[in-house]
A and B are shown apart, each in its own frame.
Chain A
Amino acid sequence: MKPTLHILDAYIDGIGLLGPGLVDWPTSRDILNGDAPYEYRTTVLPAPASLPPAERRRCGPIVKLSLAVGFEAAAMAGMPVEHLPTVFSASGGDGKNCHEICEMLASDDRLISPTRFHNSVHNAAAGYWSIAAAATATSSVLCAYDASFGAGLLEALAQVMVDRTPCLLIACDTSYPQPLHALRPIPDEFGVGLAFSPVRSARSLARICVRLTSDPADALTNGAFEQHRAGIPSARSLPLLIALASGRATSMVLDYFPNQRLAVEITPC
């Protein structure tokens, strides 16, 4: 039987944001709206207070970034994190750690440390999140290169619709040092958290509907934001974040794969 349903939809109850010149959602909302000026500043990652001291010392930038935007979105949504399913999507892992491992393995001293190794797994952020949040629910950990934000969005929305559960999407990217930076020039850290719910509540900010399209992705008129959008996979979410900041009903096309994009409609609650 051919299904007729080709649209994913859910309610957005919480947002977390951290990026260059964007320190959290409440202040970023005014900046994305044009109500406050945007000033470029390198992303500053907070130490994750939620982790036990040993884990806090060991974790890398991708973990700090993921925990910051994840906790911000979940708190805004009022969702208890212990039982909240999560989707982590990142175009790469901890870039600096990866470089240092490759450098050691190409040297005479190949004995990498246990911490370096366990921080190298793509699900390091998901593992630390589970410890920090005492979260025992399922976690999907994805990578789709430049399409990572779109892949995470579809995964989270499918989970909300099929399993009728809230779900927290955490999409983050960190940069590589040289020489990998030359081949994968992600300029700065950027992370977004979106808390989705299958039902509308007093916390709901907007309804989101997503379907596949072959239309080209929308570019942004603001030069700085467009530079982030084009340069950092998780910042492909910026048109969506700008629509949410505006509080207006908006249709847009988000980037996904080279031959497949996402048509997104936002309807404020």
Chain B
Amino acid sequence: MTSPIGHGLAQTLDALRDSRSGLTRCDFDSVDLDTWIGRVAGLEDYGVRDDLHEHDCRNNRLLQMALEQDGFADAVRAATDKYGHDRVGVFLGTSTAGIYQTELAYRRRDPASGALPPDFNYATTHNTFSPTGFTQAYFGLRGPAATVSSACSSSAKVFASARRMIEAGMIDAALVGGVDSLCLTTLYGFNSLGLTSAQACRPYDAERNGISIGEAAAVILLERLPEQVDVDAVLLLGIGESSDAYHMSSPHPEGNGARAAMQNALNMAGLTADQIDYINLHGTATPANDAAEGKAVQAVFGSDTACSSTKGATGHTLGAAGGIEAIICALALQHGLLPGGVNTTQLDPALSLDYLTGNRMQKAARALSNSFGFGGTNCSLILGRAN
């Protein structure tokens, strides 16, 4: 994974150990908003593989960085050798794909005809399918594939699509995850809703006042449980999905949908709430989101389960959030490190939870990760250590 706190797993783990935030004052493009962002360094000087140049855009550059880290590409090639190219699926989440490419193209329209510049590739950059198509092309995969685009739950929901396709016998393995990159649409869009903070975001803080938008890519290879499992392996134990049926851009005030997602995940895993050691909260740092999620967590888990939001470190990476937070949960389980939420100084007393403001070194067997989005879409994942 690549996010504002690091390129690859080692840097990410170091940043979590050091409680480092990757948020900075917004200096993206010509954006004139008073807000903070989580920006990935080096994207401007990076390009996608030569033979895939039609896919070149900020979003696919970020995705390729993740594909090429930590032996991931080798693991995918080993899976295709083992199962065949048509037995490996691709399910990636994104909210805006490469729309930044279109925003740039609209600044270069032909003054007479209004046409977009000839070097602009709609299908392979802007279209929501672009990151998934890029990944198929990168590895030559021919299995079932789709982009999941349900706003900020996207790259948690991909686990559900992949799991069903594996269980149905259509594929043996799936490349899942998500990617979203900075663009004007989301910066000005969230600003229009009054949801961006003028400071680095402070999840679950009494003074929290909005999100910091970030960019990230996460990729995970999902396979059926083998007979022999590596002791360090992390297993997907449960997935819970629900819809709010309430409002397009506000969560249900009592967190009903969030509660159903967490409970459904526990049900699928066959676990009770007390068997979860850590919750990676959606925790965007808007007043309404954290209040609704906090109530829902308390209703399902009570007040004693260790929890935190890592968005104070990474920013809200939107369609990539579920993917990077699943990986952060996996790191937490593998290294016995429950990451404290950074930037939060004064916990909201109305949300009575065991919210970690500093790291806790503690063996953990199972973690739950929440991802909720616009349109009232909710997804909770439960991951566990194999041993």
Which A residues are closer than 8 A to B by beta carbons? Answer: 1-6, 8, 55, 58, 89, 91-93, 98, 101-103, 105-106, 110-114, 116-118, 120-124, 126-128, 130-131, 133-145, 147-148, 151-152, 154-155, 157-159, 161-163, 178-180, 182-184, 212, 257, 259-260
Q: Which of B146-162 contact A (CB under 8 A)?
A: 146-151, 157, 160-161
The 3 closest A-B pairs by CB, nearest first: A127-B375, A117-B189, A5-B169
**Partner pick for A114 among B142, B184, B193, CB 8 A cutoff:** B193
Do the beta carbons of A130 and B244 come within 8 Å of each other?
A: yes
- CA of A6 to CA of B224, assembled, Å: 15
A121 touching B375 in the complex, CB below 8 Å, given contacts A183-B120, A212-B86: yes
Residues from chain A with a CB closer than 8 A to the CB of B109 are: 106, 179
B189 surroundings in chain A (CB, below 8 A): 101, 112, 116-117, 120
Q: Does B168 reach chain A (CB closer than 8 Å)?
A: yes
Return the contact of B146 from the options A155, A163, A212, A260 (Cβ within 8 A). A155
Query: Is there an interface contact between B249 and A114, defined as CB atoms closer than 8 Å?
Result: yes
Give the residue of A158, A212, A257 whose beta carbon is less than 8 angstroms from that of B164.
A158
Q: Which residues of B contact A124 (CB under 8 A)?
A: 248, 375
Which residues of chain B from 6 to 26 have a CB within 8 Å of any chain A CB?
none
Do residues B248 and A127 form an inter-chain contact, with CB atoms below 8 A?
yes
Contacts of B46 in A (CB 8 A): none
Q: What are the interface flags for B117-137 relative to A under an 8 Å C-beta threshold, 1 for contact and 0 otherwise?
A: 000101100011100110010
Closest to A126 in B: B375
**Minimum CB distance partner of A102 in chain B:** B106
Say which residue of B113, B136, B241, B248 sits within 8 Å of A138 (CB atoms). Answer: B241
- Min C-beta distance of A81 to chain B, whole Å: 10
Q: Which of A2, A3, A55 contacts B248 (CB 8 A)?
A: A55
Q: Would you call the interface of chain B mostly helix, strand, loop, or mixed? A: mixed
Question: Is there an interface contact between A127 and B374, defined as CB atoms closer than 8 Å?
Answer: yes
B167 at the interface (CB under 8 A from A): yes
Residue B246 lies at the interface, judged by CB distance under 8 Å to chain A: yes
Q: Cβ of B249: which chain A residues have Cβ within 8 Å of it?
A: 114, 118
- With beta carbons under 8 angstroms apart, the residue of B147, B190, B242 that contacts A143 is B147
C-alpha spacing A178/B113, complex, angstroms: 10
Q: Is the CB of B148 within 8 A of A141?
A: yes
B243 at the interface (CB under 8 A from A): yes
Partner of A136, one of B128, B136, B260: B260
Q: Are B151 and A123 within 8 A (Cβ)?
A: yes
A260–B377 contact, CB under 8 A? no
Which chain B residues lie closer than 8 Å to A114 at the CB level? Answer: 192-193, 249
**Known contacts A93-B128, A138-B241, A151-B145; A123 and B375 CB within 8 A of each other:** yes
